[in-house]
Amino acid sequence: MVLRRLAKDLRTQNWAVVFSELLIIIVGVYIGLQVNTWNEEHRDAQRRVQIIGALATNLNDAISVQKKMVEEIETGLSLWEAAVAGGEQRPPFYYRISGSDTPPDTWSTFVQMQLTDLFDPVTLFDLMFFYSEFDGVGRKYIRYVTFVEDQVLPGIIRDDDVFYGADGQLKPEFQANMDRLRDYQQETLRLTTWADCLVYRLKANHTFDQTCLRANFGLEYGKTNPPTDRDASKADE
The predicted-structure confidence for 111-125, as pLDDT tens digits, reads as follows: 777 777 788 888 888
**What's the pLDDT tens digit per position in 44-90?**
678 788 888 888 999 999 899 999 999 999 999 999 999 999 988 89
Question: Is 3 domain-assigned?
Answer: no
pTM score, whole prediction: 0.72
pLDDT of 196 above 70: yes
The pLDDT of residue 148 is above 60: yes
Position 42 in a domain:
no
What's the pLDDT at 72?
95
d(CA 11, CA 145): 88
Does some domain include residue 29? no
Torsion of CA 82, 84, 88, 91, to 10 degrees: 110
Q: Would you say residue 69 lies in a domain?
A: yes
214 found inside a domain: yes
Q: Which domain holds residue 214?
A: 47-235
3-state helix, strand, coil in the chain (%, to 5): 75, 0, 25
- Whether 17 maps to a domain, the answer reads no
Q: Which of 32-46, 87-101, 156-170, 188-202 has the lowest mean pLDDT?
A: 32-46
Q: Is residue 157 part of a domain?
A: yes
Question: Would residue 38 count as lying in a domain?
Answer: no
When divided into structural domains, the chain yields a total of: 1
